[in-house]
């Protein structure tokens, strides 16, 4: 029996579904998950010794590639000093200062251990700061697995959401309103109906959990206007896009297109931990003053600001600020995306793709979708065939059509060329 298969069968005996996060089980695409033993640069190696060009990068954090020397040196040094103290450390301050320096909308930040924890805390903070209970999220945007966020749309705008997970009582999501991404008219109607009740709107500015779908400029402009008019806080979930789509994150991209634009609360994860469990949420000093120990909004965590994780994240963020880093990363990502589009066109395959910085997505659709409903009309069987053909050729893409992909600084032109060569066969 192949080793990956044997490990998967063994895992299923002691771990539900054999995995510790559902998408890893390959249920969406079929087949056997690859059990990864190590990573190096742009590559990961499975239990059978097979090498893959990695376009998942631990779902985004590995922007420098696996095993970057500066990151490893920082982590090893931190480990020698101690794994956890449950007390303040200098690096917590340094990491907070680094993030605040690069994100003008933030004056103070709170470090936590996961994206789910950060988004959950950001919504609690928004509710505490406004004294309101309701909030808006968008279909297809994933903000972690906190109960109030596992929601599907209600029957209409006058109703709030319904749970999408067993174990989430209906009353827990009664204040969560789910709207269609990029639908300005629906957004306006929702504020007209519920404006005085809304504590916040939470959004992925470039959604990475319905593949890669960016918020349109008219939608983002109107969203900011409506939040300001109605006293609701705009929460940017940049767990995935933060320091991945640009040095100043997705909000920096939109600020360059919309004069004066900024969110009220920002959530970060993935890249700021460099591959270790670390996330954060931040806002103005006035909003953050609502947090304990200063205010009445409680949030705490034993491993928050972990000294090894902060060392890893700080080393990563410092590498990103080297001259030309994002220009080179974005150019490499565009080469991949444009190459895939050209190959699909040569083969008469409906195909569209987009990218920003080191994040990309593609769809087996003739034009880029603007919302989750359109994303789900893509050709699932064809995607599954494409995924397995690429995997067999040594290219590791996300094992689901609704997940974005990631290019790292370690990906070479030769890696991109090899990926495109594999795609020429897979898209026939």
The C-alpha atoms of residue 208 and residue 211 are separated, in whole angstroms, by 5
Name the helix (H) or strand (E) containing 140.
Answer: none
* Average pLDDT of the segment spanning 298-316: 97
H helices, E strands: number in the chain: 13, 18
Residue 359 placed within a domain = no
Residue 142 has pLDDT above 80, yes or no: yes
Q: Are 369 and 402 in contact (CB under 8 A)?
A: no
Q: HEC string of 94-123?
A: HHHHHHHHHCCCCCEEEEECCHHHHHHHHH
Whether the per-residue pLDDT at 318 is higher than 70: the answer is yes
Place of tokens 């956890």: 84
Q: In what order do the strands lie in the sheet with 43-46?
A: 36-40, 43-46, 51-54, 395-396
For residue 128, what are its two tokens?
Answer: 């505490």
> Which tokens hold the place of 217?
């400029």
Measured CA to CA in angstroms, residue 24 lies from 36, 119, 362 at distances of: 11, 22, 20
Query: Which of 190, 243, 182 is closest to 215 using CA atoms?
Result: 182
pLDDT at 152: 78
* Predicted local confidence at residue 160, as pLDDT: 64
Q: Which pLDDT score, from 0 to 100, does residue 158 have?
A: 47
Say whether 237 is catalytic.
yes
Catalytic residue among 52, 54, 55, 237: 237
Q: Which two tokens stand for residue 402?
A: 């609704």
Residue 25, in any domain of the structure: no
Return the higher-pLDDT residue of 227 and 165. 227
3-class DSSP assignment, residue 187: helix
CB 250 within 8 A of CB 242: yes
Task: Note the pLDDT tens digit of each residue in 21-77.
Answer: 999 999 999 999 999 999 999 999 999 999 999 999 999 999 999 999 999 999 999
- The answer to whether residue 264 is catalytic is no
pLDDT digits (tens, 9 = 90+) for 213-234: 999 999 999 999 999 999 999 9
Half-sphere exposure at residue 229, Cβ-oriented, CA atoms within 13 angstroms: 11
Decide if 379 is catalytic. Answer: no
Tokens of 308: 């090894």
**Residue 246: in which H helix or E strand, if any?**
none
Average pLDDT, the chain: 96
Catalytic residue among 52, 142, 372, 402: 142
Note down the domain range covering 87: 82-320
Residue 170 CA, chain-centre distance (Å), reads 27
Span 228-248, mean pLDDT? 98
**Which has more confidence, 160 or 345?**
345
Per the structure, the count of domains in the chain is 1
pLDDT at 156 over 60: no
pLDDT, residue 172, reads 86
Q: Is 268 exposed, middle or buried (0-12, 13-18, 19+ CB in 10 A)?
A: buried
| Distance from C-alpha of 178 to C-alpha of 155, rounded to nearest angstrom | 10
Q: How confident is the model at residue 163 (pLDDT cuts 50, 70, 90)?
A: confident
| pLDDT above 70 coverage of the chain, percent | 98
Q: Which one of 270, 354, 396, 402 is the catalytic residue?
A: 270
In a domain? residue 267: yes
Please tell me the distance from the alpha carbon of residue 327 to that of residue 206, in angstroms, as a whole number. 19
Residue 86 pLDDT grade (very low, low, confident, very high; cuts 50, 70, 90): very high
pLDDT value of position 173: 87
Q: What is the CATH number of the domain that holds 114?
A: 3.40.640.10
The pLDDT, as a whole number, for residue 273 is: 98
- Tell me, yes or no, whether 56 lies in a domain: no
Instruction: State yes or no: pLDDT of 143 exceeds 80.
Output: yes
Which residue's structure tokens are 């997505």?
A: 361
Whether this prediction's pTM lies above 0.75 is answered by: yes
**Residue with tokens 């150019």, as numbered in its chain:** 331
Looking at residue 369, the DSSP 8-state letter turns out to be: -
**391 lies in some domain:** no
Q: Which one, of 45, 40, 4, 43, lies nearest residue 25 by Cα?
A: 4
135 within some domain? yes
Residue 43 is inside which H or E element, if any? strand 43-46
CA–CA gap between residue 22 and residue 212 (Å, rounded): 20
Cα distances from 48 to residues 4, 26, 56, 152, in angstroms, run: 7, 18, 19, 40
Our CA dihedral for 54, 60, 65, 70, rounded to 10 degrees, sits at -160
Give the relative orientation of helices 184-194 and 217-230 as an angle to the nearest 10 degrees: 10
pLDDT of residue 63: 98
Mean pLDDT of 235-263: 98
Whether 196 is covered by a domain: the verdict is: yes
């Amino acid at each position: 029996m192949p080793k990956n298969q044997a490990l998967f069968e063994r895992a299923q005996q002691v771990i539900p579904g054999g995995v510790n996060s559902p998408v890893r089980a390959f249920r969406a695409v079929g087949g056997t998950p690859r059990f990864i033993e190590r990573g190096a640069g742009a590559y990961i190696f499975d239990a059978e010794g097979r090498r893959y060009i990695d376009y998942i990068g631990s779902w985004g954090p590995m922007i420098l590639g696996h095993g970057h020397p500066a990151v490893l040196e920082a982590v090893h040094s931190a480990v020698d000093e101690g794994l956890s103290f449950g007390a303040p450390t200098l690096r917590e301050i340094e990491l907070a200062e680094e993030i605040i320096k690069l994100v003008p909308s933030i004056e103070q930040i709170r470090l936590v251990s996961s994206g789910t924890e950060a988004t959950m805390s950001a919504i609690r903070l928004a509710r505490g700061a406004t004294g309101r209970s309701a909030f808006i999220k968008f279909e297809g945007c994933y903000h972690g697995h906190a109960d109030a966020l596992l929601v599907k749309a209600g029957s209409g705008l006058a109703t709030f959401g319904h749970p999408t997970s067993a174990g989430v009582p209906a009353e827990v999501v009664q204040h969560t309103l789910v709207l269609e991404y990029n639908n300005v008219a629906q957004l306006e109607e929702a504020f007209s109906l519920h404006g005085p009740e809304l504590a916040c709107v939470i959004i992925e500015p470039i959604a990475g959990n319905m593949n890669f779908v960016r918020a349109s400029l008219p939608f983002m402009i109107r969203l900011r206007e409506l939040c300001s008019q109605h006293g609701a806080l705009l929460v940017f979930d940049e767990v995935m896009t933060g320091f991945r789509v640009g040095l100043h994150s997705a909000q920096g991209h939109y600020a360059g297109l919309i004069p004066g634009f900024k969110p009220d609360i920002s959530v970060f994860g993935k890249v700021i931990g460099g591959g270790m469990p670390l996330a954060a949420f931040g806002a103005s000093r006035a909003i953050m003053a609502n947090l304990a120990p200063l205010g009445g909004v409680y949030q705490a965590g034993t491993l928050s600001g972990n000294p090894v994780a902060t060392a890893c994240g700080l080393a990563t963020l410092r590498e990103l600020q080297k001259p030309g880093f994002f220009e080179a990363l974005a150019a490499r990502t565009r080469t991949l995306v444009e190459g895939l589009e050209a190959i699909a066109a040569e083969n008469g395959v409906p195909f569209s793709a987009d990218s920003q910085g080191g994040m990309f997505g593609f769809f087996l659709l003739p034009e880029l979708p603007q919302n989750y409903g359109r994303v789900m009309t893509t050709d699932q069987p064809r995607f599954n065939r494409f995924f397995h053909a690429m995997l067999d050729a040594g290219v590791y893409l996300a094992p689901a059509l609704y997940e974005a992909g990631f290019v790292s600084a370690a990906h070479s032109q030769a890696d991109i060329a090899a990926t495109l060569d594999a795609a020429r066969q897979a898209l026939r």
